[in-house]
Amino acid sequence: MGKGFAKKKKQARMMQDQLTKMQEQMEKAEVTGSAGNGLVTIVLSGQHEMKSIKIKPDCVDPEDIEGLEDLVKAAYKDAMDKLSESNDETMPGMPQIPGMPDLGSFGF
């Protein structure tokens, strides 16, 4: 095991440190998704945890519960899309490693 191995080991450690830092950044991230021109807003953490949901009284119609449900789903999807975009920006060009699941599916 010569210099080549030591160099590879050092590179692997540096990559691991970078990945750890990126994961920490993503865990601290929060994104806000909305629907219906802001009638429903949802805040998600970088770990996909719902931090808050706000529903404006204007969209609460007892006769149209399905409409409210659709707005909540749309706001959640908007937040998830933004979180995915944020993760893509934080970890651009992250290669897919054969045999490992896509890191994006875990919120990384």
Q: Which of 14, 33, 7, 13 is nearest to 86 (CA)?
A: 33
- Tell me the pTM: 0.64
- The answer to whether residue 46 is domain-embedded is yes
- The answer to whether residue 15 is domain-embedded is no
97 vs 6: CA distance, rounded Å: 22
CATH number at residue 77: 3.30.1310.10
Q: What pLDDT is recorded for position 108?
A: 39
- The answer to whether residue 47 is domain-embedded is yes
Stronger pLDDT, 92 or 51, i.e. the higher one: 51
The domain in which residue 50 lies consists of 25-83
Average pLDDT, the chain: 82
* Type of residue found at 62: P
- The answer to whether residue 99 is domain-embedded is no
What's the structural domain count of the chain? 1
Structure tokens at 51: 């931090």
Percent of the chain with pLDDT over 70: 81
Structure tokens at 16: 């691991």
Q: How far is CA 52 from CA 28, 48, 66, 76, 103, in A?
A: 15, 12, 21, 11, 25
- The answer to whether residue 96 is domain-embedded is no
- The answer to whether residue 13 is domain-embedded is no
- The answer to whether residue 3 is domain-embedded is no
Render pLDDT for 52-100 as a digit per residue (tens, 0 to 9).
999 999 889 999 999 999 999 999 999 999 988 887 776 665 554 444 4
- The answer to whether residue 97 is domain-embedded is no
- DSSP annotation string for 22-62: HHHHHHH-EEEEEETTTTEEEEEETTS-EEEEEE-GGG--T
